[in-house]
Amino acid sequence: MRSADQNFAEKDIESLDWNELLNLKRSFSSYLKQLTNDIIEIETSKIQSVNNKIQSNTDNLKSLLGRSKEIRSSIKSKNSDFLAIGQKISQSKDFLSTMESRVTNETEDVLIHTINVLTKSLEDKQYATENEKSRISQEIKDRSMEMEAIKAVHTIKQGLNQLNQQADAFKENIKQLDMEDIKLNNHINSIRIALDALYVERRKLSDERSNLLDSYNTALQKLELVNLQMDKISKVRRQRVQMHGQYISDSAILKVKEEAKRKLESGSKLSFEELKLLYNDGD
């Protein structure tokens, strides 16, 4: 709208003739049409597109935040379970250490053979005195306790192995959850950055729309002034008079008419032509 604004800024609108005003009106009309198209494009296309992206990113962010919350809750629960297993492992190791102190260097097969031999000697009464009988019975009990200790050690080791496997599984699971949470947080941060950029873009579009609306209102006011001046010229053309044998321009007649009004208000004497300009067509 450069040419129309320049004409408006550089010249008094009342000095423009009909053709100049008509060109100016066309320029303003074209400019207003372009402004209208630009405003509509921003409102129905650009801002709507940004709003859709904001909504999509916001929905995605809510979903990711929900998943991240679930992961953190799962990690907390698994850490608690992992801690409980760690305590069981510690207790099992302490018990294993106690039981291993009771185990001799003899193998289970040797102990079984010894118990069987001693039991057979009791059954066959292969003892000379009651003291010897008691000694054999006690030895059978001691060997049996050593057998139970060996069995307990085996059982503890099996349980400890299972606990270690469970602990390893928890550690791996927690590790995987931590990695997923890190990826989620990176994605969440990326979406937040994208949302910030979208909000900035929407504010810029809103500012641009506001500026366009201001330009539209200003141009519309100028167009109204142009139309008003053209209406004045149209009225003058209907009451054009001949002065000193020549026809004067529309703008000159308007100036004469304004001067006549001022003279009338001040009480100065008016010429016939000035009176005719003031009072023709009810003006």
Compute the distance between CA of residue 27 and CA of residue 4 in angstroms, rounded to an integer.
6
Same domain, 189 and 270: no
Q: Looking at the predicted structure, is the pLDDT value of residue 176 above 90?
A: yes
The yes-or-no verdict on residue 25 having pLDDT over 70 is yes
Q: Are residues 202 and 218 in the same domain?
A: yes
pLDDT (tens digit, 9 = 90+) per residue, 65-110? 999 999 999 999 999 999 999 999 998 888 888 877 767 677 777 7
What pLDDT does residue 257 have?
65
pTM score, whole prediction: 0.61
Assigned token pair, 134: 């008691």
Looking at the fold, whether 220 and 243 belong to one and the same domain comes out as: no
Q: Give CA–CA dist 201/191, Å, rounded.
A: 15
Give the chain's domain count. 2
Dist. CA 210–CA 199, nearest whole Å: 16
* 20 and 154 share one domain: yes
Higher pLDDT, 198 or 230: 198
Considering only CA atoms, give the Rg of the chain: 53
97 and 193 part of one domain: yes
Under the banding of pLDDT at 50, 70 and 90, the label for residue 281 is very low
- State the average pLDDT for the chain: 82
Contact 33, 210 (CB under 8 A): no
Angle (CA) 5-225-279 rounded to 5° is 145
Instruction: Give tens-digit pLDDT for 200-245.
Output: 999 999 999 999 999 999 999 999 999 998 888 877 766 554 444 4
> 144 with 115: CB under 8 angstroms?
yes
What confidence score (pLDDT) does residue 34 get?
95
What confidence score (pLDDT) does residue 273 get? 59
| Residue 242: predicted pLDDT | 45
The whole-number pLDDT of residue 283 equals: 44
247 shares a domain with 232: no
* Higher per-residue confidence, 8 vs 50: 50
Percent of the chain surpassing pLDDT 70: 79
Residue 164's domain is classified under what CATH number? 1.10.287.2610
256 & 118 share domain: no
pLDDT at 12 over 50: yes
CA distance 185 to 78: 20
pLDDT of residue 247: 53
Last residue of some domain: 238, 259, 275?
238
CA–CA distance, 268 with 279 (Å, rounded to integer): 16
65 & 50 share domain:
yes
Identify the pLDDT of residue 2. Answer: 47
- Note whether 267 and 158 are same-domain residues: no
Same domain for 247 and 230:
no
Note down the domain range covering 75: 2-238
Half-sphere exposure of 53 (CA within 13 A, CB side): 18
**151/53 same-domain check:** yes
Choose the weakest-confidence range: 7-21, 41-55, 169-183: 7-21
Q: Are residues 26 and 134 part of one domain? A: yes
